[in-house]
């Protein structure tokens, strides 16, 4: 049984990598300006580079694909952690209000420093994830306090409190965007709906340190996430400092969400769908769920972004809208499944 399980895990990993590569290839070669694969190879290897190909591949499409992959990776892993820590299969960074808290803090940053730090300078771009972290932590702290009942966290209260607090932060973000001038309002409105159309290499560099730091931290605690499937008293009897481990894991997942929100805005449902799909594919052990959930998230965001920019051309939809079209029915399905 162990050998079969390991073989299935390897097959799932290889299939996910193949699908991600296929989605990336399609997004890189297709669009209003189709490019042959040989031209892509020549451009990347700098063999007789053509300015037009450099612009389309290196400035527009490739950064967008990389950011889509990183955002999907971060949200998928964060969703797995949050669902495990809260013991709630309907938990998601967006549904719980963590996305909204991080997004509201970044809108505050954009409102007060627009034209001074954001958009052009490295200081503004590197500071945005920090603002997002503060907002995400604030939202998580409020949710944690209001969800506490009879000495423990109540999963049902957690979901309802997260929706309420997320709505409050979203209202704050909307109020601030309405106070911006027309140009800044347009940018903020598109960003808050979940979009990566303005992707560039600076945004990628701002995300990478968070990924390098936090993903290994979460990966090193997969055994703790497995233990969280037991009753809390049983976990404590095994010598695990439950509250400390919860704090570390939640802080790591909120950091990932904040880094993602800082470059893509409020993309929801990835943290909900990816962990459930991963569990169906590789079982309940988090040393396998975490990487597969991250890859499923990558595939969902890269594929949805291609649909958003290509299918409805010449108009372009925010990728968050496409993901919501998929995510809302899936959430309703999980809700009815939980009731059953």
pLDDT per position as a tens digit, 233-248? 888 888 888 888 888 8
3-state secondary structure of 153: strand
Whole-prediction pTM: 0.89
pLDDT number for residue 124 = 67
- Express each pLDDT in 249-270 by its tens digit: 988 898 898 888 888 888 889 9
pLDDT number for residue 122 = 65
pLDDT number for residue 218 = 95
Averaged over successive runs of 10 residues, the pLDDT of the chain (340 residues) comes to 71 96 91 82 85 86 93 95 86 83 85 58 71 84 79 71 88 86 74 77 88 94 90 83 86 88 86 93 92 96 90 78 88 75
**Strand ranges in the chain using DSSP code E only, listed in sequence order:** 148-149, 152-153
- Reading the block at residue 331, the tokens are 């959430």
pLDDT number for residue 246 = 85
pLDDT number for residue 340 = 55
Q: Which long-range CB contacts under 8 A does 9-15 form with residues at least 24 apart?
A: 9/282, 9/288, 9/292, 12/281, 12/282, 12/292, 13/291, 13/292, 13/295
Q: Cα–Cα distances in Å, from 256 out to 75, 263, 317, 325, 337?
A: 7, 12, 24, 24, 29
Domain that holds residue 169: 2-339
pLDDT number for residue 151 = 65
Radius of gyration over every alpha carbon of the chain, rounded to an integer in angstroms = 20
- Express each pLDDT in 201-222 by its tens digit: 888 888 899 999 999 999 999 9
CATH number at residue 129: 1.10.3470.10
Which residues, other chains included, contact 254 with Cβ-Cβ below 8 Å and sequence gap of 6+?
Answer: 78, 93, 98, 102, 133, 136, 137, 140
3-state secondary structure of 179: coil
Closest CA to 264 of 327, 322, 191: 191
Q: How far apart are CA 63 and CA 133, in angstroms?
A: 23
- Express each pLDDT in 294-305 by its tens digit: 999 999 999 999
Q: How far apart are CA 284 and CA 275, in angstroms?
A: 10
Q: What are phi and psi of 46, to 5 degrees?
A: 60, 40
Sequence-ordered alpha helix ranges (H) in 154-198: 155-178, 182-192
Number of domains the chain contains: 1
């Amino acid at each position: 049984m162990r050998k079969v399980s390991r073989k299935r895990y390897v097959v799932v990993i290889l299939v996910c990598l193949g699908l991600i590569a296929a989605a990336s290839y399609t997004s890189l070669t297709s669009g209003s300006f189709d490019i042959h694969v040989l031209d892509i190879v020549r451009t990347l290897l700098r063999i007789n580079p053509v300015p037009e190909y450099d612009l389309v591949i290196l400035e527009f499409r490739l950064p967008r694909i990389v950011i889509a992959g990183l955002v999907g990776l971060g949200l998928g892993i964060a969703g797995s952690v949050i669902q495990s820590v809260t013991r709630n299969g309907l938990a998601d960074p967006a549904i719980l209000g963590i996305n909204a808290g991080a997004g509201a803090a970044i809108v505050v940053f954009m409102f007060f420093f627009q034209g001074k730090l954001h958009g052009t300078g490295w200081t503004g771009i590197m500071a945005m994830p920090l603002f997002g972290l503060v907002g995400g932590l604030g939202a998580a702290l409020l949710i944690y306090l209001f969800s506490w009942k009879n000495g423990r966290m109540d999963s049902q209260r957690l979901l309802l409190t997260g929706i309420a607090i997320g709505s409050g932060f979203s209202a704050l973000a909307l109020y601030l965007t309405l106070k911006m001038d027309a140009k800044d309002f347009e940018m903020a409105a598109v960003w808050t709906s979940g979009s990566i159309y303005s992707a560039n290499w600076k945004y990628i560099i701002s995300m990478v340190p968070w990924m390098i730091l936090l993903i290994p931290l979460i990966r090193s605690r997969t055994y703790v996430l497995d233990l969280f499937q037991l009753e809390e008293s049983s976990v404590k009897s095994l010598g695990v400092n439950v509250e400390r481990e919860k704090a570390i894991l939640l802080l790591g997942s909120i950091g990932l969400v904040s880094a993602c929100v800082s470059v893509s805005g409020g993309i929801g449902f990835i943290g909900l769908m990816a962990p459930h799909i991963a569990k169906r594919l590789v079982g309940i052990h988090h040393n396998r769920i975490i990487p597969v959930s991250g890859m499923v998230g990558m595939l969902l965001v890269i594929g949805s972004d291609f649909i958003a920019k290509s299918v409805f051309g010449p108009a372009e939809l925010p990728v968050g809208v496409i993901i919501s079209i998929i995510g809302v029915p899936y959430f309703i399905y999980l809700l009815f499944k939980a009731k059953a």
